[in-house]
Chains A and B, each alone.
Chain A
């Protein structure tokens, strides 16, 4: 079954760190870029970060630049989002998403995970 599954969410205090994982199955993740998109409670979608299929191209939203790090392990079919110095405004559901075409990194998404919730609270 072609799917993305996020994990690693939870409750964390402001200033602490959390690492999210996005595991792929049913397709060759190493041929695809992967994006993270988040959605704060009751709010819209916010693009967070992207890593190209070969890790050469990596981009972040200004709101997370310098605090979040995206990486991938193609041998494990997994993409990670390391989130440091977490703030209250980072609280959201975090989705990973796959572009519709192989090897392109900035494209529309045809596959999304179900999301993992990150709660930042003291």
Chain B
């Protein structure tokens, strides 16, 4: 199963709402997670099981989707949200773990 994220890059302003798409090549269960990565840092878990916020993640982040189409939405962008975002498929035996190619969110 392949994951395709779009767009690959995105420019937005503080206060905007943005959505990032993650499309699976075939239907998957709820085993989808989202990560945020800032330059020079390890990825950070944002959302798991499609829509469950990880501990400490602000409520302006949300995830949704079903089947093959999944979305990460960030409302009221804050300066610290400008980063790269990756979706991840897990629990996909016999190929553990697949990442989308990433989306770079840049400040306009």
Contact = CB atoms under 8 A, between A and B. Distances in A.
Interface of A: 35, 37, 44-47, 50, 59, 95, 100, 105-110, 112-115
Contacts, number: 60
Interface residues of B, number: 27
Contact of A112 (B42, B95, B97, B99): B42
Interface of A, secondary structure class, is strand
B90 A45 contact: no
Interface of B: 31, 33, 35, 37, 41-45, 48, 54, 84, 86, 88, 90-102
Contacts of B31: 108
5 smallest CB-CB distances across A and B, nearest first, come from A112-B42, A108-B33, A47-B97, A44-B102, A106-B96
Given A44-B101, A45-B43, A45-B86, A50 B48 contact: no
